Amino acid sequence: MPIFHTLSRREAQSYLDQFLAEMPAGAARLAETLQDQGADSALVSDFAPSSLSNVWVAVAPLFSWQDLYQPANPPERWSPAAPVEGLGDLSALPSWFTTSTGYGLEHFSPHTLWLIDGVARHLGNVLAHTNGWVWKVGSGRSGDVFHNQPVIAGPLNEHSPLMSTAVIVSRHLKGGEGRDTLLETYENWVDPPPVA
């Protein structure tokens, strides 16, 4: 379990290399899930932005909290902590899983963490293929949430598909979509709305 903010730049680059080497396995897992859901498994190699909506529609019904987590009621309240023990073998989770981000990743079921993995990688790869963005080590200051994490970087900003997808999935499970899912996130990253 990486604790990203404690990694040296060399360790963070080494982790990014591992993360990128995992891309084919991540795509294969997502393709299998899409096929199981009756969707076209070829969506994993479709880097058109519209593929993001199609992937979301197929996987969204599969998201769930982990067994030992009880979400706050009403959902607007701060959510209680989830015991990490509810996730089982932590070495069987995606390599980027950590409890040190403040994103509540430990709230999700192991299956949902793997879905987040596949969907986030697809989001990043759509940006890479259609806009020339690149995966890199997050360059935020030490203590920033994306510091040393895999991020996708465009001409103006860098974003974390992993943590952003986790936020979108959490909103979905709490019953409030907010910003659409993946396609609106993509659009807001590529063409950010003007600052008011």
The helix-helix angle for 23-36 and 50-59 (nearest 10°) equals 60
Distance CA 117, CA 114 (A): 5
Give the CA-trace dihedral at 27, 29, 30, 36, to 10 degrees: 140
Tell me the two tokens of residue 60.
């969204």
In this predicted structure, the answer to whether residue 101 has a pLDDT above a threshold of 70 is no
Give residue 133's pLDDT. Answer: 97
**What integer pLDDT is reported at residue 180 of this predicted model?**
60
Q: What is the pLDDT of residues 102-122, one digit of tens each?
A: 678 999 999 999 999 999 999
Cα–Cα distance for residue pair 131/128, rounded to 1 Å: 6
Q: Which residue has the tokens 């950010």?
A: 192
Lowest mean pLDDT, pick from 24-33, 35-44, 107-116, 177-186:
177-186
Share of the chain above pLDDT 90, in %: 64
Residue 194, pLDDT score: 80
Mean pLDDT of the region 36-63: 96
φ and ψ of 74, to 5 deg: -70, 160
Which residues of the chain form beta strands (DSSP E)?
134-137, 150-153, 158-159
- For 9, residues 6+ apart whose C-beta sits below 8 A from its C-beta are 137, 148
Taking a C-beta distance cutoff of 8 angstroms, is the pair 108, 68 a contact? no
Give CA–CA dist 162/119, Å, rounded. 8
Backbone dihedral angles phi then psi of residue 41, each to the nearest 5 degrees = -65, -20
> What pLDDT score does 129 carry?
97
Mean pLDDT of 34-42: 97
pTM greater than 0.85 (yes/no): yes
Q: How far apart are CA 77 and CA 40, in angstroms?
A: 38
DSSP SS3 for 158: strand
Mean pLDDT of the chain: 89
